[in-house]
Amino acid sequence: MGDGPNHVGLIPDGLRRWAVSNDTTLAEAYLRGAHKVVEILQVLQRHGVRTVTVYNLSRANLGRTHDELDAVYQASLHFLTTLIPTHFDPAVCSLRLHGDRKALPDNYVAAVHDLEVAMTGSAFRINMLAAYDAYDELRDAHRRAQQEDCDIASAFEIGEVDLVIRTTPEPLLSGFLPLQSQYAQLHFLDTPLNDLTTEHIDDVIAAYRGLPQLRGR
């Protein structure tokens, strides 16, 4: 039996389908999704997880329709300006954005910056991937490795992932931290993000702890 995980990756997916099946708007689906992500973060924090990396937007996602991106950004702003400050102690938690900030709206980047400055804790870290692309991350790590004369594995800003949870049954990582997730345990859930309960996450954590974490050994 194992313990942990220390680092969980969260791919909150399926919100467009949820909006259609529940006859609601994209804006409502994504807003509800933001609240659900906070609930999941709180459950993971209670389980002793130290870091959660949330996949908000890939660079490829930026090619979606204006209406959908607007819904994502509005929900994300609510997440950043209201939900995170309300539910997480800045002396305990921190938040960091990873991705191309120049490709994101100014108010999104400003909201992230405010949290990065205000949240100084080290016990629970939230990474947000937005306008993220794994090739960009690899190029940046290679550049830092050359500048700092270190191994490239040490130059990545995000460490190894122990467990990845995706809220759709499709067995895809969709570009999520491919190098850091190479030995991660993967869970693809049949229950949509907006219908998840704390018990669903408890079950995933229990399943993780029930398997040996060999990492290729």
Contact yes or no for 57/46 (Cβ under 8 A): no
- Please report where in the chains the tokens 């609601």 appear, as a residue: 24
Instruction: Calculate the average pLDDT of the chain.
Output: 95
| Residue 12 Ramachandran class (φ > 0 left, ψ -120 to 50 alpha, else beta) | beta
Contact yes or no for 141/159 (Cβ under 8 A): no
Tokens of 184: 């991660």
User: If residue 9 lies in a helix (H) or strand (E), which one and from where to where?
Assistant: strand 7-11
Is 18's pLDDT higher than 50? yes
User: What's the mean pLDDT in 75-87?
Assistant: 98
pTM (2 d.p.): 0.94
The confidence band for 206, taking pLDDT boundaries of 50, 70 and 90, is very high
Neighbours of 185 (CB within 10 A): 19
Is 217's pLDDT higher than 70? no
User: What's the mean pLDDT in 21-47?
Assistant: 97
Q: Which domains are assigned to the chain?
A: 7-132+159-209 (3.40.1180.10)
Q: Can you give the pLDDT at residue 212?
A: 79
Pairing between β-strand 124-129 and β-strand 51-55 as defined by DSSP bridges: parallel
Contact yes or no for 55/130 (Cβ under 8 A): no
Is 9's pLDDT higher than 50? yes
Q: What is the pLDDT of residues 128-164, one digit of tens each?
A: 999 999 999 999 999 999 999 999 989 999 999 999 9
Instruction: Write b or e for each residue in 149-183: b if 16 or more Cβ atoms lie within 10 A of its Cβ, otherwise e.
Output: eeeeeebbebbbbbbbbbbbeeeebebbbeebbee
Is 215's pLDDT higher than 80? no
What three-state secondary structure class fits 78? helix
Listing DSSP states for 95-131 in one string gives: EEEES-GGGS-HHHHHHHHHHHHH---SSEEEEEE-S
The confidence band for 211, taking pLDDT boundaries of 50, 70 and 90, is confident
Q: Can you give the pLDDT at residue 216?
A: 64
Is 1's pLDDT higher than 50? no
Tokens of 69: 């991106």
Q: Fill in the amino acid letter for 183.
A: Y
User: What's the mean pLDDT in 171-199?
Assistant: 96
Q: Can you give the pLDDT at residue 152?
A: 92
